Amino acid sequence: MKKTILIFLISFPFILSCQEINEKNNKVQFEVTGNCIMCKKRIENAALLSKGVKFASWDIPSNQLTLIYNSKKNSLDSIQKSISDVGHDTPLFMASDEFYNQLPICCLYERKIEYNK
């Protein structure tokens, strides 16, 4: 019985810290426009260089980016802005023409015009 109580007391802070980690981290998925493996590297690097991003994986065929990020360290808006700053459109931000035009020719994707500026 004493061992059980001791194990519980030792593991209790760990259980609480795991709950805290899960409350901070968010898993989201959204579209990021691109074409190829070079786009994949650029998009994932831009996301991973954003503060609080723990995981980023962009799927080429579906153009879906999956992220795990700490919402207490960064916002989804800020992460999407970082991605648009390397030339790729996101649901919240359209890449500037300057950044888009700097992409390699294989990375130039068809742009949508329905963004609110």
Closest by CA to 94, choosing from 106, 86, 102, is 86
Q: Which helix (H) or strand (E) holds 28?
A: strand 25-31
Closest by CA to 32, choosing from 76, 96, 92, 106, is 92
Domain residue spans of the chain: 25-107
Q: Are strands 53-59 and 25-31 parallel, antiparallel or unpaired?
A: unpaired
- DSSP for 66-116 reads EEEEETTT--HHHHHHHHHTTT---SS-PPPHHHHHTS-GGG-PPPP----
Between CA 89 and CA 111 the distance in angstroms is 8
Q: Is the dihedral of CA 72, 78, 82, 88 positive or negative?
A: positive
pLDDT, one tens digit per residue, over 92-117 is 999 999 999 999 999 999 998 755 54
The reported pTM is: 0.76
pLDDT, one tens digit per residue, over 21-76 is 566 899 999 999 999 999 999 999 999 999 999 999 999 999 999 999 999 999 99
Between CA 41 and CA 3 the distance in angstroms is 50
Architecture label for domain 25-107 = 2-Layer Sandwich (3.30)
